Chain A
């Protein structure tokens, strides 16, 4: 089948779970015989061979095509000149625009924690819109243009920024549309949602012939907050690939001092403040712990300040934004990963942590719980319970071993191939 796919990001410019998900989904879908044209709103060069880590994992079936070129040949990567990035808010947009025009680039990429080292790709900016919504609208025009030029059977759009493009492509061609929800405005912004984004999400899902949610948690939000008919929404859980985990990191490990990790955007959605409060409670009971907060985001300055107020500086380390091998090394160094998200549609990172044999504590409000029962589950606001569970991991070693033993077994059945098969079934129904 020929798929016109609208996305936000694609390797090598991955800033979060979405880029990884799009990469893995297109990879497995193309192995099912689909020809995918992937539209990204970035004026970057298309991904090249060198950007892909191709490693045969021992004991795990090789998840990659034997030839990377073969894969990229089957995937037609299109770019629309735009500076859209998945986690941009209206407030951040002027900064990103500034970065794109050559001023204050470092500052902005620290702020949103994305694409460090790649400001140069955005040189010609004269035609960029003045605000985010204008950019979304412009991207949608390009979407329509591409739709009229390309031959395809199905439109598949990932998250709100691409929905207007997909709707226009559907109107122009009459082809069936799939709206794939990786995150909702409700997840990102809680109660202070952006009405415009909410409207686009709703419009996209209403226009779509079928909606894919990354979890039942997200599906329920779509039904309750957006009023979309339940029978139109399928759940396709994300997965995790193991290709990174073959690298062995020899991390000097101080046996006495344990490392507890928070890794993610430092924004209210991810609950970094609960992590710090829980850390303070833990340190009341034991001093032999190092807490690491890896990532960047608008809450970072306040978090650093809070650690100072609590006089926990000796036990805290802020790494800033990490990517690539640094992320892997960080996991490998850790004894525990904590994800106290306020609202997490899926949450890939806990599965990645488990691949590195790191047990995880997850918030109840995370879709990944639905497929990973071998984690400690907490309410994100219950700082005492988070601390209780961190201490349990530190004090009762049998707990980590049992979590990991069972987790490893469960991870084996969490595969992108399974997700692709489910999407293929949806395609097949729509294409009839």
Chain B
């Protein structure tokens, strides 16, 4: 069994208010704070706190043999701080063990990389600082929103000082199949690329009903056996990226995620050569094969490209309108305006405008808080119209 590199990422967007055309010019508050608070409380109590406690316990039990990575956006950290500060304490405790690596990411879980490289850079720096302040350690691995990648971005991530970047695997790269493990870029940089094991990640989060693993909810035994059988002779590592919230939504009782987490270390470590690894260590080999994609690819769309967020006219219109405001927003040096503009960049808001039902990430995704993609667009555009009218000049 190859070493397992497990990343849990946490997603929970703030809820936007129902904002009518008639609110434009009358209300500068865009967030439904009570809904956000409710969702955050539920997320913290039913998912994040119990899961992190188990991980903490297991790390103590197994010492350095069990280790994971965590990816949390900056705006989510802000929300935890506001609504459930004790969650940040458990993050700190996890970091203190030395066996949990916190990953860098765009602060606002945004698509800035596709619209403004300057904004992407600023959000990465903000997040870097936030993680360092929270854990006392500077992150060295970068995980972009939805694993979005293209070559140009890799250079940018390297310039920002990161050594490793998580990227999509499987068949996402043009002309490649079954991409998984450690790679390098084609432009001679030292940045290591860690390609996600797409199908295993998906199976774990969404449809753990593989013929080899009839258990539903998934058991760690079945999972470990499956990994072992699927890759008996392969070298390298298996990076898995899991949405912690999706796991709990699919298997809500404590037989699901928590039982799985409880048993996972033991069952994996029982196997010969079964180990857990974190990116900084995983990406050591110098002679990795290279990967390249000139166009954007993502790990969260079977169609590879960014169409789930920007595949239709409404999404493109909203995103273009949003990023067109950048120079005006930054030109007025108003921190409140800047923060509001950034909060409106959360990628989920554009996913809600997707009209192709098959493009949605399925039941694992948080409930979409709008009646239809059209309502999502109308609401967003009303908010954006009001916001743009508030920018001086």
Contacts and interface: CB of A to CB of B under 8 A. Distances in A.
B221 interface: no
B389 interface: no
Please classify the interface of chain A as helix (H, G, I), strand (E, B), loop, or mixed, using the class held by over half of its residues: helix
A373 B371 CA distance: 11
Given A385-B20, A391-B21, A399 B314 contact: yes
A373 B377 CA distance: 15
A376 B313 contact: no
A107 B313 CA distance: 49
Contact of B355 (A374, A387, A389, A396): A374
Interface string A170-183: 00000000000000
Given A281-B22, A402-B314, A396 B371 contact: no
Contacts of A388: 20-22, 378, 382
A374 B317 CA distance: 18
Contacts, number: 56
Nearest to B316: A398
Contact of B21 (A387, A401, A403): A387
Contacts of A209: none
Contact of B313 (A377, A384, A398): A398
Contacts of B378: 376, 388-389, 392, 396, 399
Contact of B372 (A377, A385, A392): A377
Contact of B377 (A285, A377, A385, A399): A399
Interface string A392-416: 1001101101110110000000000
Interface in A340-392: 373-374, 376-377, 384-385, 387-389, 391-392
B115 interface: no
B381 interface: yes
Contacts of A374: 355, 374
B312 A402 contact: yes
Contacts of A402: 312-314, 355, 374, 377
Contacts of B20: 384-385, 388
Most central of B20, B316, B374 by chain A CB within 10 Å? B374
Interface in A270-291: 281, 285
Tell me if B's interface is mostly helix, strand, loop or mixed.
Answer: helix
A370 to B, nearest CB: 14
Nearest to A396: B381
Contacts of A398: 313-314, 316-317, 377
Interface string B331-372: 000000000000000000000000100000000000000011
Contact of A401 (B313, B371, B385): B313
A389 B313 CA distance: 17
Contacts of B372: 373, 376-377
Contacts of A373: 372
A392 B382 contact: yes
B23 to A, nearest CB: 9
Contacts of A403: 374
12 contacts: A373-B372, A374-B355, A376-B372, A387-B22, A388-B21, A388-B378, A395-B381, A402-B312, A402-B314, A402-B374, A403-B374, A405-B313
Interface of B: 20-22, 312-314, 316-317, 355, 371-372, 374-375, 377-378, 381-382, 385
Interface of A: 281, 285, 373-374, 376-377, 384-385, 387-389, 391-392, 395-396, 398-399, 401-403, 405-406
The 8 A-B pairs of least Cβ separation, nearest first, read: A398-B317, A398-B313, A392-B378, A391-B21, A388-B20, A388-B21, A402-B314, A402-B313
Given A374-B374, A391-B21, 20 more contacts: A281-B22, A374-B355, A376-B372, A376-B374, A377-B371, A385-B20, A387-B21, A387-B22, A388-B378, A388-B382, A392-B21, A392-B378, A395-B21, A396-B314, A396-B378, A396-B381, A398-B314, A399-B314, A402-B377, A405-B312
